[in-house]
Chain A
Amino acid sequence: MARRKAAEVTLVEAINLALHHEMARDENVVVLGEDVGANGGVFRATVGLQEKFGPGRVIDTPLAELLISAMAIGMATQGLKPVAEIQFSGFMYSCLDQLANHAARLRHRTHGRITCPMVIRAPNGGGIHAPEHHSESVEAFFAHVPGLRVVVPSTPARAYGLLLAAIRDPDPVVFLEPARCYRLFREAVADDGIAAPLDTCFVEREGTDLTLISWGGMMHEVRIAADQLAADGVDAEVIDVATLKPLDTQTLVASVAKTGRCVIVEESPRAGGWASEIAAELAEHAMMNLFAPIARVSGYDTIMPLARTEARFIPDVGRILSAVRKTLEIAPLG
């Protein structure tokens, strides 16, 4: 395919670009969900798709999240590649039933004869001053289930490439988009149809002193923190996990083995969050390389608070830097 000129797009526009690309490339790709048609999705991720590909491939479903996840599974078993949208990740708990009991098990139950090439996408996380249930961070629920791939992009370019990869992947992918970053910044994205790898973390900044690990919406704060640390002479390595499951432990371990210090940042409540899984992996595989304990920076084990107080729940740059400072206090550089 001819290389197209890269346009500056937001994360949600990159999602839209990827959907347009893949629907044009593969007629088996169908988009379904609530208000994805004429309305173009509540966050405008599916704008223009129904006009271009028709209501047979861009399907406004009845208002039922369990149905959406289940019908996508059914369609996927018959050769289609459904990309289902759930309007907010807080509405996905009823999908967990279908995804854990059916999507994740079909390949196993049929000895590999039936696969489930579907994607279920949803905006994830807070910081958008939304009412309750609209700001949840649900990635760990899905990452816990064997048989599901869980992907959380953090930039427009990565969202484009990872979504293409997710659609082309033969197995079910839970694709959680950081709602706060939908329009936070623009980035050049070439609509070249090149998928990003679904089996690696992205080391987006190399460093020697400390490893900062995060994904999704928190990557924005992590990048700012890394810049500030650089100004203070601390050379942080920054890793965007991107694909939470299966987890690329190797890249993470290699980085921490090199730096000896690690801070993991996530937005969700702490207990049972994915940072805990990563911390445990690092403790098991790189304990002897650590100069300081691994620190988790996260939300608290509370119900996600409402708009007025959510900024005190979601980790900010200050909280990340506090963790880094403590790590460096325990294990000074040099």
Chain B
Amino acid sequence: MSISKWPEQRAKEDFERILDPQGEVCGDMPDIGSEALLHWHEAMVKTRMFEDMALRLQRRGVFSVVAGGPGEEAIGVGASAALQENDWLHPTYRQAGALMYWGFPIDRTFAAMLGHAPEHVRAALPLDPADLPKLRSTPFPVFLGANIPLAAGAALADKLNHRAQVSLAFIGDGATSEGDFHDGLGLAGALKVPLVVVIANNGWSISVPTSRQTAAETLAQKAVAHGIPHRRVDGNDVFAVYLATKAALDAARRGEGPCLIEAVTYRMRAHTSNDDAQTYRDDAELHYWAKRDPIGRFEKYIERRGLVDEAYRTAQRKRIEAELRAAVKRAQSVPPTPPDTMFLNRLTGDEGWQFRHQQAELEAELEGRNPFLDFDGGGLPEARS
């Protein structure tokens, strides 16, 4: 049998690009206002600093595992910038940028990363309803392939209800191998579902390069079989990501159905903090991609436009660092999750004697009583309705 070692892979640069790696305009630059550009910048920088801080804290034992996407900020930020209020976002754990752009609370994210139950986090770190993000997002999923059929179903419901909103779902290159991806695209195409799918192709599924996921030349072309339009963009160019996603979302809003966008980027770090990328890939790739950094090129461009300078960036970093530190502090101030939180939000309503009895058993155990006293037919008194 001859399955050779991985060929060196370098994604073809035959994609849409507005801003080249040197920060020079090489396409039709859209007219984006200064305020918006500064917000994009802020979201990308904050995302990177957030993920750097998360990794530092993981190394110190604060978090058990973190999975971030430094070098992929342009995809989450650029694509979600094309969304409107009340739209739906289905991110993966590589699109923290999308949440930063829409102002999701960082302290709650840190608290969730500490392993607290979400119900508890929400109660411990209350939020003024006015400060809630205007965008609706699903929680970070573990199963990225499932994002597509789930989002397709949700977007179909919006269409059937004649709602104005559209959905944006992300997936990685690896999860395009899951059957779910094709199931979802099939439905979305056939029923013209208002859904835009962005593949963040970062070249690696843990240790397996995209070239071993598929023999297809691009991931974008997978849309062809489903009769869906597709585009392929430089995922490290926030303008290219924004423009392609905006056009696709606009079309979806007009009832023209879905679109598949492949955004080509690179996973600069290991898969998660538990992974060691040096066991399976060459550092040379990192040097190649470091020169294509999304934030670096964007900063060169906005600096040339006179929007930022060194002093601004220094002050900005200081401000964000302080904001993140404060968020970590708030997250760490969250008291221990009460163990009985595990019984919340399972099924609606009273689940009956068996379930109540188990709750009572845990309570007894926590109070130092023996939960096993159920052999006489009565059970724990708390369980009786």
Seen from chain A, the residues whose Cβ lies within 8 Å of a Cβ on chain B are 34-35, 37-40, 42, 54-57, 59-60, 62-67, 90-91, 129-134, 270-271, 292-293, 295, 300-303, 305-309, 312-313, 318-319, 322-323, 325-327, 330
1/0 per residue, CB under 8 A from A, across B322-343: the answer is: 0000000000000011010111
Task: Supply 6 further A-B pairs (C-beta < 8 A) apart from A38-B6, A65-B178, A306-B117.
Answer: A38-B280, A63-B145, A134-B142, A308-B336, A322-B370, A322-B372
The interface on chain B, measured as residues whose beta carbon lies within 8 A of the other chain's beta carbons, has a size of 51
Interchain CB contact under 8 A, B279 and A308: no
Least distance between B67 CB and chain A CB atoms (Å): 8
B206:A35 contact, CB within 8 angstroms: yes
Q: A35-B206, A129-B64 are in contact. Are A308 and B4 (CB under 8 A)?
A: no
| Residues from chain A with Cβ under 8 Å of B371 in the complex | 319, 322
Within 8 A of A (CB), among B1-58: 1-6
A292 neighbours in B (Cβ, 8 Å): 375
| Pairwise interchain contact B117-A309, C-beta atoms closer than 8 A | yes
B375 x A319 contact (CB < 8 A): no
Secondary structure at the B interface, as helix, strand, loop or mixed, is loop
User: Out of B114, B274, B365, which one reaches A308, CB within 8 Å?
Assistant: B114
Check A62 against B213 for contact (C-beta < 8 Å). yes
Quick check: is B318 within 8 A (CB to CB) of the other chain? no
CB <8 Å contact, A131 and B65: yes
CA distance A123 to B28 in the complex (A): 51
- From residue A66, how far is it (CB to closest CB) to chain B in Å? 6
Which of B178, B342, B373 counts the most A-chain CB atoms under 10 A from its CB?
A: B342
Bound-state CA distance A129–B272 (Å) is: 14
Q: Is B98 an interface residue (CB 8 A)?
A: no
Is there contact, CB below 8 Å, between B115 and A129?
Answer: yes
> In the bound complex, do residue B174 and residue A63 qualify as a contact, i.e. CB atoms below 8 Å apart?
yes
B109 near A: Cβ within 8 Å? Answer: no
5 contacts between A and B (CB under 8 A): A55-B4, A63-B208, A300-B362, A322-B365, A326-B370
B255 at the interface (CB under 8 A from A): no
Whether the Cβ atoms of B207 and A308 lie closer than 8 Å is no
Contact between A38 and B179, CB atoms less than 8 A apart:
no
Total contacts A-B at CB 8 Å? 139
A interface secondary structure, majority: loop
Which residue on chain B has the smallest CB distance to residue A295? B372
Inter-subunit contact B213/A63 (CB<8 Å)? yes
**Contact partners of B359 in chain A: CB under 8 A:** 300
Residues in chain A near residue B3, CB distance under 8 A: 54-56, 59
Q: Evaluate contact between B178 and A313: CB separation under 8 angstroms.
A: no
Q: Does B214 lie at the interface of the complex (its beta carbon under 8 Å from any beta carbon of A)? A: yes
Instruction: Determine whether B138 belongs to the interface, using a CB cutoff of 8 Å to chain A.
Output: no
Taking a contact as CB atoms under 8 Å apart, the answer to whether B115 and A308 are in contact is: yes
Of B1, B178, B179, B341, which contacts A57 at CB under 8 A?
B1
Nearest chain B CB to A291's CB is how many angstroms away?
A: 12
In the docked arrangement, what's the CA distance between A301 and B372, Å? 16
CB distance from A241 to the nearest CB of B (A): 21
Whether A131 contacts B142 in the complex (CB less than 8 A), given A38-B207, A42-B206, comes out as yes
Nearest Cβ distance between residue A245 and chain B, in whole angstroms? 25
State the CA gap A63–B5 with chains docked (Å): 17
Residues of B within 8 Å of A34, CB to CB, are 205-206, 208
With a cutoff of 8 Å between Cβ atoms, the chain A residues found around residue B208 in the complex are 34-35, 37, 60, 62-63
Give the chain A neighbours of B275 by CB distance below 8 A. Answer: 39, 42
Write the chain A residue with the least CB distance to B176. Answer: A63
Q: Does B355 contact A (CB under 8 A)?
A: yes
Contacts of A62 in B (CB 8 A): 174, 177, 208, 212-214
Q: Is the CB of B177 within 8 A of A309?
A: no
The answer to whether B116 has its CB under 8 Å from any CB of chain A is yes
A312 and B115 within 8 A (CB): no
Residues of chain B lying within 8 A (CB to CB) of residue A40: 279
Known: A129-B64, A305-B117, A309-B339. A60 touches B362 (CB 8 A): no
Q: Which residues of B contact A63 (CB under 8 A)?
A: 145, 174-175, 177-178, 205, 208, 213
Shortest distance from the beta carbon of B99 to any chain A beta carbon, whole Å: 17
Cβ of B346 under 8 Å from chain A:
yes
Which B-chain residue is minimally distant from A321 (CB atoms)? B370
B369, closest chain A residue (CB): A322
